[in-house]
């Protein structure tokens, strides 16, 4: 059981990868602007209609979220591996979650504000994501994607999200609205709402490089690792750094191989689970619906179920009390969130809500899910 504490940073590392890919299209704040080695296309927005249109080889607005989410999720899986993706998303699909996020943030904002949309620029954005290496993924979104919207703002102009700013600029979040600004250089002071230059992160008030493979990380004394890497061996209590390890090197074991959740973990391939009680633990296949199970990583039960007191039981549905005692698996069925102890369905723009956490947009205003905005 003690080894479970080392899985939190692993899950966080994978989740952070997902956020850098998906959430940058939401607020596009707090990440690291840059191209990840992909230069800006130089194409300017054509001022196309916000209702889309084919634009020749372009992609209509209502089809853009799925196209971009496909590229995002394929790149993320390439970087962290299928088994790590399962630990992150479980019963939910990355492409569904990503597409819903884009529909309820970027598309909703375009519809709400009447912003220009250039359908001909979307393929270049998708291709730029496909061309990124895993280190580039850590550097948020390609600059090509900014060309989807016209009227980009210059340094010093007000903004709500970095997608509004010209190439090479990001939107500060210390105020609302923020300001389009040049990213902060290595070694320079930074604060909440600032973005550091390519490959850097704001660590203890200074822009410092993210850890590369076999470099020190974590332990409260070093920054985290680049996307696709897990910080193994770090000890926050002892203030001892760990080492950046490829996530794809963690989930490698075949059935019946001895596995461990110790630090660094050695876990099983996709479709297998590593029990966390009893030694030695071996990689075991998943069980059928309602079958006998044990606490394991990932959970041994099929989609829509979790291991409850030794047997697979259905996850709570909408309106039910959230499950308790679950480790590293959601406490409600897919696309539901636990709000005030109850499972509530994630809402699109216009759906009722209590808090932002139950909206795909992440924003709840006057009891209704709305597009991200200054409040």
Q: Is residue 342 part of a domain?
A: no
Here the CATH number for the domain that contains residue 309 is: 2.10.80
Domain count, the chain: 2
Q: Is residue 52 part of a domain?
A: yes
Q: Are residues 130 and 16 in the same domain?
A: yes
Q: Is residue 138 part of a domain?
A: yes
Asked if pLDDT for residue 2 goes beyond 50, the answer is: no
Give the per-residue pLDDT at 137: 63
- Output the average pLDDT for the chain: 81
Q: Report long-range pairs for 328-337 (Cβ below 8 Å, ≥24 apart).
A: 328/4, 328/7, 328/11, 328/87, 328/297, 328/298, 328/299, 329/90, 329/298, 329/299, 330/90, 330/91, 333/91, 333/304, 334/90, 334/91, 334/92, 334/303, 334/304, 335/92, 335/96
Q: Are residues 24 and 138 in the same domain?
A: yes
Give the per-residue pLDDT at 117: 87
Give the per-residue pLDDT at 194: 82
Q: Is residue 329 part of a domain?
A: no
Q: Is residue 124 part of a domain?
A: yes
Q: Are residues 14 and 139 in the same domain?
A: yes
Cα dihedral 96, 97, 99, 102, rounded to 10, equals 170
Give the per-residue pLDDT at 138: 53
Give the per-residue pLDDT at 70: 92
At residue 373 the predicted structure's pLDDT band, cuts being 50, 70 and 90, is confident
Q: Of all residues in the chain, what percent carry a pLDDT higher than 90?
A: 43
Residue pLDDT, tens place only, 178-235: 899 999 999 999 987 788 888 888 999 999 999 999 999 999 999 998 878 888 888 8
Q: What are the CA-CA distances from residue 205 to residues 77, 145, 219 (Å)?
A: 31, 29, 16
Give me 19's structure tokens.
Answer: 């956020």
Asked if pLDDT for residue 7 goes beyond 60, the answer is: no
Q: Are residues 148 and 259 in the same domain?
A: no
Of 259, 286, 314, at which residue does a domain stop? 314
Of 314, 339, 356, at which residue does a domain stop? 314
Mean pLDDT confidence for 77-90:
87
Give the per-residue pLDDT at 44: 29
Asked if pLDDT for residue 104 goes beyond 80, the answer is: yes
Residue pLDDT, tens place only, 56-72: 468 999 999 999 999 98
Asked if pLDDT for residue 174 goes beyond 80, the answer is: no
Q: Is residue 307 part of a domain?
A: yes
Residue pLDDT, tens place only, 37-47: 222 222 223 33
Q: Is residue 91 part of a domain?
A: yes
Domain that holds residue 276: 250-314
Q: Are residues 131 and 260 in the same domain?
A: no
DSSP assignment letter at 324: -
Of 154, 189, 204, at which residue does a domain stop? 154
Q: Is residue 358 part of a domain?
A: no
């Amino acid at each position: 059981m003690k080894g479970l504490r080392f899985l939190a940073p692993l899950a966080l590392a994978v989740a952070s990868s997902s956020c850098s890919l998906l959430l940058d299209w939401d607020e596009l704040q707090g990440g690291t602007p840059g191209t990840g080695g992909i230069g800006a296309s130089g194409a300017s927005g054509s001022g196309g209609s916000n209702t889309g249109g084919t634009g020749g080889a372009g992609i209509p607005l209502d089809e853009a979220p799925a196209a971009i989410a496909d590229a995002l999720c394929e790149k993320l899986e390439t970087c962290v591996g299928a088994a790590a993706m399962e630990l992150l998303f479980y019963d939910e699909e990355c492409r569904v979650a990503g597409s819903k996020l884009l529909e309820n943030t970027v598309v909703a904002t375009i519809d709400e504000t009447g912003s220009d949309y250039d359908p001909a620029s979307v393929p270049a954005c998708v291709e730029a994501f496909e061309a990124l290496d895993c280190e580039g993924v850590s550097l948020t979104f390609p600059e090509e994607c900014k060309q989807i919207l016209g009227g980009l703002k210059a340094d010093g102009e007000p903004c709500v999200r970095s997608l509004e700013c010209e190439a090479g600029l990001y939107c500060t979040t210390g105020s609302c609205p923020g300001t389009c600004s040049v990213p902060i250089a290595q070694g320079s002071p930074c604060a909440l709402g600032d973005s550091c230059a390519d490959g850097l992160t704001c660590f203890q008030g200074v822009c410092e490089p993210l850890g590369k493979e076999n470099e020190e990380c974590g332990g409260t004394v070093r920054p985290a690792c680049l996307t696709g890497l897990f910080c193994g061996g770090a000890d926050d209590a002892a203030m001892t750094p760990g080492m950046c390890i490829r996530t794809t090197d963690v989930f490698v074991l075949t059935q019946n191989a001895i596995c461990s959740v110790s630090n660094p973990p050695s876990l099983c391939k996709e479709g297998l689970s590593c029990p966390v009680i009893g030694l030695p633990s071996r990689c075991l296949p998943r069980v059928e619906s309602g079958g006998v199970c044990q606490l394991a990583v990932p959970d041994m039960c099929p989609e829509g179920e979790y291991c409850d007191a030794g047997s697979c039981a259905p996850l709570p549905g909408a309106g039910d009390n959230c499950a308790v005692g679950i480790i590293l698996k959601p406490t409600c069925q897919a696309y539901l969130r636990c709000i005030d102890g109850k499972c509530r369905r994630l809402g699109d723009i216009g759906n009722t809500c209590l808090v932002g956490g139950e909206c795909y947009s992440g924003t709840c205003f006057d009891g209704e899910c709305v597009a991200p905005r200054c409040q």
